[in-house]
Structure 1
């Protein structure tokens, strides 16, 4: 890889790392923001919900927009949007404005994630795998260092610093991207595309139904959970949510350019199971990722700084496991690694249940290590399983569904935590969360073993046919 290619990878890497960095730094700031704005845990959780909902919607749209306007322009525009959100968020006059800033930040960082990988694939032809692995290190490293960085920033400054810290990365990435990313012509269209055709191309109707349905269901469930009963208003909101998602499913099955191609699930069952696994994996990982810092700070009264140091165990073990997983999966395929990953998540979840209010704080490192190694195995294994189960002609669609499953898992993790905590984070709620995570992890183990068995059966059948 030449010097120009290396600088291109660095420019893209500094941009795409902002999405996982900002989704992870907030983990150690939840307790502080809950105190600053005098809100309960459910309301503050919308800082997490809003980011992932916006990411789930923005990335597929941006992928289509990059064909219209060019990947370089979209990448640079994403940096500008991220700069604006990082600059304005610290001056939010109330929590509502902070939520808006998080949504804008999510859209900006998603613009870079959606186009960054494609830029490297197109413009780096030699040692492309090496370049893509470097980008993966930027993303996984940012997610790993996020809680630690957030803890340090909160220790020395205050919560606005977790937004301000983005600015130097954005500026450096913009300067390098402007210099290093080659200019390219966007896709040409016959005549000018009308607004109606443009909206149809990005499936604006599907996006609206999906957003209304998801947000309405989240609001209805969280409101009912906070009040302890389902009021008429809650019932109406929930009904709107279910109705909107019903219309969304009907619309996606009929439209020629669906936002989420649901028919792919029916045509390729193996892809369906991979996405179910990935959704459960992210549910487990992020429930721990956001729940454990709150346990340490609100139950054990550990400082943000020391919470960040403990959470670093999760990231380091994940980074160490990833390259080992790559070599193992190259030799044995993804299934053995995914089975071990599911077992480790089950062990880590059981360990959470065994913790009490006087357990040594360092003992949480055991659960973090189990989940960290599991995450390292999953980061390689799930992607390999996806490519193995996806025909080449639909690999783009399969990747889009894969990312959607990731964000649905993260949203479900926040929803599960919010329902269990009922507005106030407590030790009893944390232990109950561990029980639920154990149940989900055992389901994941069964699914992983099912893949292992079915794979062995298919291989045996193939061998018998040859013989």
Structure 2
């Protein structure tokens, strides 16, 4: 691999790491933001899933936009948006504006994530697998160390630092990308001759609007169901309205020729659908712990952001260690043994959370973090392998996109779960209830995974 290819990888890597870095750093900042803006836990949890909702919507849109307007243009535009939001978010006059900047930040960072891997695959022709793995390491590494970086920054400066830290990455990536990413091909000029209505049809604006309105309305309705509170009639109406709109979204997506979310693929390939459902469930587990445990440490056990970040680092590091080991194991034995061990570890971690007492040593949470970290590493490789086996080769690109969307949905559902269980205040009783809920979900996932794999073996035989 020549020098220019290496610099291209670095420029792209510095851009694509921004989305996972910003989605993970916020886990340590939730307690501080709740105190700064005087909010209950349900409201402050919108800082989590607003980011994932925006990512789930913008990633497929930006993938289509890059085919029309050029990948380099989309990548550089995303960096500009990330730069502006990193400067403005800390100046937010209230929490509502912070959510707005957080959503725009998610869109900007999703622009790099949507086209970064494609840029590497197109412009680096030698040792391409190694190049792709390096970009994946930028993404997974950023997600792994995000809570640690967030904890250090908040401890020494304050929560605005988790936005300012993006600036050196953005500037470095932009300057390198200008020089290293080749110019877009002339074929992208087709977008200039495309009518506005055709462009709207191509990205499926009606589908996007139905999905966004329906999901947000349903979340508002569900989040009104606090653990020990009452549900207002207006919230029930809003929730039901959201379900009706989502039903309209499903009907629209099955009929339209260029769907925002290709539901027909799920209908046509049930094995692939089952894998995505499992992946969504496992991410509900992972992200509920990922966002719930820092709040438990800070709000219940009164651990500082700095030490919370250090403790959370074990989750990401064990995940990184387990992933390459899982790859070699799955190559030899298939995904079933690795996924079974993953389910056992998840169940153990959830039970461990459930039995923690108010006087348990803080370091004991590392046992749950280790179990979930190894489990996540096994799942990342095992579920990807299961996806490749269940998806026809001709739609593997679509399947990979749906797989990432399932991850985003899992993160959204996990934050919704936290909001419902905790209600207005993060408490020890709520944390124990979270452990009980995660134990049930872990057992459900083990049942789903083993049933799918047994049925797959019967079909092969």
Taking structure 1 as the reference length, the TM-score comes to 0.96
Instruction: Return 178-187 or 262-271, whichever deviates more.
Output: 178-187
Report the 3-state secondary structure (helix = DSSP H, G, I; strand = E; otherwise coil) of the residue aligned with 1:277: helix
| Alignment partners' CA distance in 2, 1:178 and 1:331 | 43
Measured after TM superposition, the shift of residue 386 of structure 1 is 1.2
CA contact (8 A) 1:296 1:302 kept: yes
In structure 1, the partner of 2:425 is 424
Measured after TM superposition, the shift of residue 236 of structure 1 is 2.5
| Alignment partners' CA distance in 1, 2:228 and 2:446 | 35
Q: Tell me: CA distance 1:190–1:286, structure 2 relative to 1, closer, same or farther (3 Å).
A: closer
| Alignment partners' CA distance in 2, 1:64 and 1:431 | 44
| Alignment partners' CA distance in 2, 1:298 and 1:27 | 13
Taking structure 2 as the reference length, the TM-score comes to 0.98
Measured after TM superposition, the shift of residue 85 of structure 1 is 0.5
In structure 1, the partner of 2:353 is 352
> 2:138 aligned with 1:138, yes or no?
yes
In structure 1, the partner of 2:159 is 159
| Alignment partners' CA distance in 1, 2:232 and 2:353 | 34
| Alignment partners' CA distance in 2, 1:206 and 1:446 | 33
> 2:16 aligned with 1:12, yes or no?
no
In structure 1, the partner of 2:269 is 268
Measured after TM superposition, the shift of residue 131 of structure 1 is 0.7
In structure 1, the partner of 2:54 is 54
| Alignment partners' CA distance in 1, 2:422 and 2:209 | 30
> 2:313 aligned with 1:312, yes or no?
yes
CA contact (8 A) 1:217 1:238 kept: yes
In structure 2, the partner of 1:111 is 111
Measured after TM superposition, the shift of residue 226 of structure 1 is 7.9
Measured after TM superposition, the shift of residue 224 of structure 1 is 4.2
CA contact (8 A) 1:336 1:452 kept: no
Measured after TM superposition, the shift of residue 227 of structure 1 is 8.8
| Alignment partners' CA distance in 1, 2:344 and 2:449 | 9
Number of residue pairs aligned between Structure 1 and Structure 2:
460
Report the 3-state secondary structure (helix = DSSP H, G, I; strand = E; otherwise coil) of the residue aligned with 1:225: coil
| Alignment partners' CA distance in 2, 1:333 and 1:89 | 46
Unmatched 5+ stretches in structure 1: 462-467
CA contact (8 A) 2:69 2:191 kept: no
Measured after TM superposition, the shift of residue 333 of structure 1 is 2.1
In structure 1, the partner of 2:382 is 381
| Alignment partners' CA distance in 1, 2:149 and 2:71 | 30
CA contact (8 A) 1:335 1:451 kept: no
In structure 2, the partner of 1:464 is none
**Residue correspondence of structure 1 range 205-224 to structure 2 within 5 A:** 205-224=206-225
Measured after TM superposition, the shift of residue 188 of structure 1 is 5.0
| Alignment partners' CA distance in 2, 1:191 and 1:6 | 33
| Alignment partners' CA distance in 1, 2:21 and 2:206 | 31
In structure 2, the partner of 1:281 is 282
In structure 2, the partner of 1:29 is 29
| Alignment partners' CA distance in 2, 1:265 and 1:455 | 17
Measured after TM superposition, the shift of residue 312 of structure 1 is 0.6
In structure 1, the partner of 2:416 is 415
In structure 2, the partner of 1:403 is 404
In structure 2, the partner of 1:465 is none
**Residue correspondence of structure 1 range 299-338 to structure 2 within 5 A:** 299-338=300-339
